[in-house]
Structure 1
């Protein structure tokens, strides 16, 4: 005999509450499990030893390991080497200290959606005594170009689960880091196969040189390295550029030649600076650029000098029939970089870096 047994209405409430809590904690666990992790290590740069600025050759390096990295010990990953901008450092970009961007948060958001292949991201601390290495080889700053392209890559391949091939390595950066990515990338297609430049500075000859009387006066008021620490951005950038592009081991305390002396342009020094502009050397590296898997660059339209320079880069690459992606978007030097990394840079590398 069947009987209808009445059910207490509170049973339904408890059951529904239990189901809700189960779903909630499952979602939280899922989101947590899809977060990557960050390690901050030190890597010794043999080529940075004895630099005349006195910077340590033992450099901090921040490393983003994707969500599956620690659980899948046999899996190997593509690597993107990401270079920060002038006055920045790796700690700022990786959330160790407060900054205008938190790169791991941006990357976690992308990988949690499960649409892109996971990758390792590596950022060395290139903030020097003069606030930036320009990722160049110099007796004054040390051999930063070689450190990034050779020593750092070798170290990461030896200590992490990477795919140790150029086809699985990308190079990217913002501002000074974009400059470094183009400078290094066009010289080393055997190491990096894909390049993404975010608002790259210093592409064209002469765009870092002080020209106004006010800027020149500020430059000539600097008498010691300690004065540089208190100087404005433009003055700091001039000294950093001089240390990287016109080093002079016989000229303390800065060990560099400035392009302006006693208010007058120094043509020989200006020529050295011009020779370090990627657009000045690009014709010599066309064969290398043709070996790349992919090349992309962008800038905000309110970042006027940089937007103008990447337009020239687009024209040069087009004249050589070199495939590339170029975009000028609505924005300035900083305000949409996180969005560009999320929506453009990471999908670019996910598409172009090989997974095996």
Structure 2
């Protein structure tokens, strides 16, 4: 295989999407965003045929062009998508890649006064635009969403919040069971602030923006804590509230509780009706995930079982949080089979 070129059987169309709801966002991030739409082989041959649509969203710090990143001796994900549908063993789908990057690293696909209205952008701008411009089967029964890590988080919570739009989802190591995936990072963040930034997030951001970012391993912890707080516990005026004391690491219970309200595991009982209506739920994670998201995956599965949702694909595979893009075609095929007419 020549890693720098393939012969596409379908086609990937690249757009620049102008969002109205992201104009004037608190971080002054771009409101013109890249949007990719993959059309499967045969799309142009039958102008009457319509297709399910599956939306792909990215993890924290992800931006759209990263989908083209290549691991040694492997195809990148858009190439894997084309290979999957070229084999004609999977019901053909339209695949949509959405960019929700922010200068804090991500949006968690929520509306936040500190970050912007990324949930509204995804659900009320991008989805209707795709349905208008492409031959989708424009109903929830034929629309799914998938992602990894924070993208997996978005894939879990978006259909809970908007079951009128989404009929299935796939989460690869999605952020869940927050005391396992986030809480262990807090002490390391407090030490990093003390050792490198005079105990101040203001100093961290000043240094971060004045040099090549993420030069220290601990910088990712600091970026992640702040980015999550901006999504889960910002005040109405956009002030970011951290769930711990930056000197001692002591939890601030009322702010931590605001985070827990957005934990997918804890959201399941509140959104039981929406989850019971899903046509497809796919959950997986590596058994040795560095952020213990295998534990979150199991906790999410158990929460679903408690509300009576048992028709779920679930697997803990041998692997970590890294280099698991080979899993994406598995979930894409699962969603395609469940969401096809």
Using structure 2 for the length normalisation, give the TM-score: 0.86
* Partner of residue 201 from structure 2, selected from 191, 203, 222: 222
Q: Does 1:240 align with 2:217?
A: no
Distance 1:214 1:79 in 2: 41
Q: CA deviation at 1:268?
A: 2.0
Other structure's SS at 1:46 match: coil
Q: CA deviation at 1:267?
A: 2.0
1:122-141 alignment to 2 at 5 Å?
Answer: 122-141=96-115
Q: Does 1:296 align with 2:287?
A: no
Note the aligned Cα RMSD (angstroms): 2.2
In the alignment, which residue of structure 1 is the partner of 2:319?
331
* Cα pair 2:100 2:109 within 8 Å, conserved: yes
1:24-63 alignment to 2 at 5 Å?
Answer: 32=7, 35-63=9-37
Distance 1:162 1:42 in 2: 19
* Cα pair 1:205 1:273 within 8 Å, conserved: no
Q: CA deviation at 1:181?
A: 0.7
| Structure of greater Rg | 1
* Cα pair 1:130 1:239 within 8 Å, conserved: yes
1:306-321 alignment to 2 at 5 Å?
Answer: 306-321=293-308
Q: Does 1:259 align with 2:220?
A: no
Distance 2:228 2:52 in 1: 32
* Cα pair 2:29 2:102 within 8 Å, conserved: yes
Q: CA deviation at 1:183?
A: 0.8
In the alignment, which residue of structure 2 is the partner of 1:15?
none
CA deviation digits over 1:193-234, x for unaligned, max 9? 111111112443573246554421334443164544534211
> Judging changes above 3 Å, is the alpha-carbon distance between structure 1 residues 291 and 234 closer, same or farther for their aligned structure 2 residues?
same
Query: Unaligned stretches of 5+ in structure 1?
Result: 1-30
1:147-186 alignment to 2 at 5 Å?
Answer: 147-186=121-160
> Judging changes above 3 Å, is the alpha-carbon distance between structure 1 residues 85 and 214 closer, same or farther for their aligned structure 2 residues?
closer
* Cα pair 1:246 1:256 within 8 Å, conserved: yes
* Cα pair 2:235 2:241 within 8 Å, conserved: yes
In the alignment, which residue of structure 2 is the partner of 1:270?
256
Question: Aligned pairs, how many?
Answer: 316
Q: CA deviation at 1:280?
A: 1.6
Q: CA deviation at 1:265?
A: 2.6
Query: Unaligned stretches of 5+ in structure 2?
Result: 1-5, 194-198
In the alignment, which residue of structure 2 is the partner of 1:112?
86
